[in-house]
Amino acid sequence: MRRAPFIPACAAAAVLLLAGCNGTTRTSTDAGGRTVRPADPAFQAALKRYEQQRVTWHVMQKGETFYSLSQKYGVPVAAISVANPQLDPRKVSVGQKVAVPGFGPADVRPPVAPGPAPVASKPPPVKTRDRGRFCYPVAGTARDSKAPTPGVEFAVPAGATVVAAHAGRVVVATPDLGGLGPTVIIDHGNGLCTLYGRLADFAVKTEQKVGRGEAIGRASAVALVFRVYEGPVAREPAGYLNKK
């Protein structure tokens, strides 16, 4: 089967995801009856001007893993997994092509790179369910994701505040990753990361430290995607959200 080009698919997904959550989206209310605003119009305008990330196609060699690609290209291993949903990171074979999002190592970057991704204004704080190792990223109810990659989705009003499930360091804050639209990945240490996809916007930047429950962005009109990664492998989030 012929693989669709990475960049057009990402760009199309970003446009579709943002179409329902721009400045013309109606104001709605959350589960507590509070009014929530749509995504920051200034962020949306900057997003349209932002040059989409490129992708480096790497042909796997003997002894290489997603971990070694992460080291070589300076890209978080979880981001490589997200960009390759068709591959099992534990069973990658020699000769397979792996999409590495971003610009790759310094020596192969283009002469002119785009500036940093636009950052939206900080959304209002919100208290979410906190009964597990991680707190809920939004004030809503989780449901199993229909995607083949383990994860959960949250259907919340467009503009609802999204928070960090645990303290950590932002390693990805991009307008699109693997077709998930605006996405944030937070590194919590010991190889554990959380992903927040299909955002309307994000109010954090890479290398920024965030606290547990700190607002990081706003939800879009499409259900928020939440995943937990141990290294390159996505795990079922339920065990992290519901158990200490």
Domains of the chain: 1-244 (2.70.70.10)
CB-hemisphere CA count at 13 Å for 103?
14
Structure tokens at 158: 């467009």
pLDDT score at 47: 54
Determine the length of the chain.
Answer: 244
Look-up: residue for tokens 């990753």?
Answer: 177
Query: How many angstroms separate the Cα of 93 from the Cα of each of 78, 148, 155?
Result: 18, 20, 37
Residue type, 128: T
CB-hemisphere CA count at 13 Å for 93?
3
Which regions of the chain are under pLDDT 50?
A: 1-27, 34-35, 49-53, 103-115
Between CA 177 and CA 165 the distance in angstroms is: 20
Between CA 122 and CA 124 the distance in angstroms is: 7
Structure tokens at 97: 């092509």
